[in-house]
Structure 1
């Protein structure tokens, strides 16, 4: 019952969330963070109960907040779980220019002026956008200076949008911005695919199978604020 409704084990398989979450981090997912999702048999990913509500959840919740790291089902293959950071919620407008994320929260200009420092606010045609809204709080977010617009890289890494996020949808991006398959390429994530929130790391090892003792037992909310900043 615990694995169905409370916590489920998850392994970070790729580097899309580096330097916040690392390949080889084994963590528990808090499955009740955003409601109670319809339980599935692990690995087989077969639903144990019907989706009575039609939104993938037995009990609804408020959904992810801006800045949350979220576990969700990949929209193009719902048997696969992804982990990314929520950078925009329903009604928000966002775009990327020269790799920089600009966000206009749906609460409007007054909200932006009251909640963000002036040096991060940019006015475009009367609308206030926040420039790179999450980097100060979460130092693991970074771009790779070696990824340049050379005709081989997807244009979405450099220029994207603007788009308005659908209601009850969440726009997800990896902290390793230039090496992440995320909402820039396949759209925002509907509530029915939201699974939960990373909780704490119970085991971690690197590509050489060396145990990362300093990460074991740490909660993810602490690690994401202590992640090392990218150094070229």
Structure 2
């Protein structure tokens, strides 16, 4: 409704400040007040292609087209100073109103020679490039980088991804008033790049594939306090889909009673406790043989999430390891034994054979309050879940009705009150009121997903903040076009085995980098031969 109100107010305002321009161009005054149609007429007045109307109606792109159309309107009436276009935009149209009511308007038509002389091809090309790039970015593919290690070693810090918006259905941008080609902040200034009002209702075009368990997914972080499409982008692996029941037992994930299977190109990591003979580890060897980052104190302060090794005592370490490397680590000459770190539920009896340092570590992790416990700050803990022993928990599906209890309301509190925008209140007796009506059942209006990082003990994911609503889904990572290891040395800082590789698929990852380089070389040779023949 707010978007409809915005469109009507916008049309009324535009008509008020421009109707005399329409009259001077031999059009009707009322045409300036009709939403969308006024844009069609304006395009005709400016002598521009009709398809510009469609571009103007695309969210975000419409902002750029609005600037262009202001320039075009002023141009055909011979108000051709750059500052005049800037004055209209900077005054939110008041300068256009001044011209509309105070100037004697005469329609001169379009002068392409003037535009070419004064703006040049460069400015036109820049605006055209911005429009095209914005359309591509919002409707087909977008580039992302992996900033943190929550998906190591499946998707790694320094991977540059191409994310498909089409796989799960293109989500129409919801925030209308935003700068193109930036997400939620203006670079270098750090201020918001958007205006929250108005919001376009959630709409998603048909999908190529549904989100499936096992897919890596880019989504908007649900806990951010911003418009949905402006929330920070996260990438995790979808572990459970709407209607599923999930449980974690000693780090092993079970969905609907069956063990979750990682796809071929997933390389999950877990935390291990390592006992040595007192001799330390070679940073160079760990990096070379296992791609394990054992950083210096300075490096760790600079890159706090990249560290894979922590020394606790003179002979005890904790390490993030892949299962495929366990045997090799255990066979190192300085290693006595390796234990997995598994946080049991609070109150469980500890294994007396374990090192005290490991017991203390596991007990500390078991004390952390996770979803769906209330984040009240008072230590309330109706659920005794830990990172490694969690659930069972139901993943809400649109149309499904659940009974509400004093305990499970904590799991659905944010769903009902935030994501589905109902007025939710719980009185001191634990009675639930939804939109003022006492309720012991609730029917979900949206579907939700459960996302977890492959770096299971170094990932802020659904175990901490809960469900991801369907309208927060952004896209599917499909391609790694570059991979840079900031802890590598020289040429080894480029992970050539990951450059130009596909994210998904069966079997080992294959790089198409050299195929691409050969293609570029052949293309250049063909171009040289053609130029020589033409000469």
TM bucket (normalised to shorter chain) is 0.7 to 0.9
1:201 aligns with 2:480: yes
| Aligned length in residues | 199
Aligned to 2:500: 217
Q: Deviations over 1:112-153 (max 9, x none)?
A: xxxxxxxxxxxxxxxxx112x213745412322234433332
Of residues 171, 194, 205, the one that matches 1:59 is 205
SS at match of 1:101: strand
**C-alpha spacing 1:36/1:188, structure 2 compared with 1 (3 Å):** same
Determine whether 1:226 maps to 2:508.
yes
RMSD value over aligned CA atoms?
2.5
For the 8 Å contact 1:10–1:28, the answer to whether it is kept is yes
Structure whose alpha-carbon radius of gyration is higher? 2
**TM-score between the two structures when normalised by the length of structure 1:** 0.76
How far, CA to CA, are the matches of 1:142 and 1:43 in structure 2?
33
Query: How is 1:149-160 mapped onto 2 (pairs within 5 angstroms)?
Result: 149=343, 150-153=362-365, 154=368, 156-160=386-390
Matched-pair contact (CA < 8 Å) for 1:5–1:31: yes
SS state at 2:154 partner: coil
Secondary structure at the residue paired with 1:86? strand
- Would you say the 8 A contact 1:38–1:49 is kept in 2? no
**2:169 matches 1:35:** yes
Partner of 1:152, secondary structure, is: helix
Deviation per CA, 1:75-129: give whole Å up to 9, x if none. 012521110111111110011122111110xxxxxxxxxxxxxxxxxxxxxxxx1
Pairwise CA distance, 1:64:
0.7
- Change in Cα spacing, 1:186 to 1:225, as seen in structure 2 (3 Å) is farther
Q: Which protein is richer in strand relative to its size?
A: 1
2:232 corresponds to which of 80, 85, 90: 80
1:130 aligns with 2:413: no
Alignment match, 1:68:
215
Per the alignment, residue 122 of structure 1 pairs with none
> What are the within-5 Å matches in structure 2 for residues 89-128 of structure 1?
89-104=241-256
Pairing 1:162–2:392 present: yes
* The structure with more helix, counted as a fraction of residues: 2
The answer (yes or no) to whether the contact 1:156–1:185 under 8 Å persists in 2 is no
Deviation at 1:49, TM superposition (A): 11
Distance (Å, rounded) in 2 between the aligned partners of 1:216 and 1:12: 14
Change beyond 3 A, Cα 1:49–1:213? farther
**Post-superposition offset of 1:37:** 1.2
Hey, what's the Cα distance between the residues in 1 that align with 2:198 and 2:502? 32
| 2:140 paired residue number | 6
Q: Name structure 2 gaps, 5 residues minimum.
A: 1-134, 185-193, 274-340, 344-361, 369-384, 398-446, 510-535
Q: Give, in whole Å, the separation in 2 of the partners of 1:136 and 1:199.
A: 14
Instruction: Note closer, same or farther for the CA distance 1:92–1:27 as it changes in structure 2 (3 Å cut).
Output: same
SS for the counterpart of 1:203 is strand
Contact persistence 1:38–1:48 (CA under 8 A): no
Whether the aligned pair in 1 keeps the contact of 2:213 and 2:239 (CA below 8 Å) is yes
Query: Secondary structure, in 3 states, of the residue corresponding to 1:84?
Result: strand
* Contact 1:95/1:162 (<8 A) preserved: yes
Asked if 2 retains the 8 angstrom alpha-carbon contact of 1:7 and 1:30, the reply is: yes
What runs of 5+ residues in structure 1 fail to find an aligned partner? Answer: 105-128, 228-232
**CA contact 1:139–1:225 (8 Å) conserved in 2:** no
Q: What is the CA–CA distance in structure 1 between the aligned matches of 2:507 and 2:218, rounded to whole Å?
A: 18
Deviation, 1:63, is 3.7
Alpha-carbon distance between aligned partners in 2 of 1:217 and 1:14, rounded to the nearest angstrom: 21
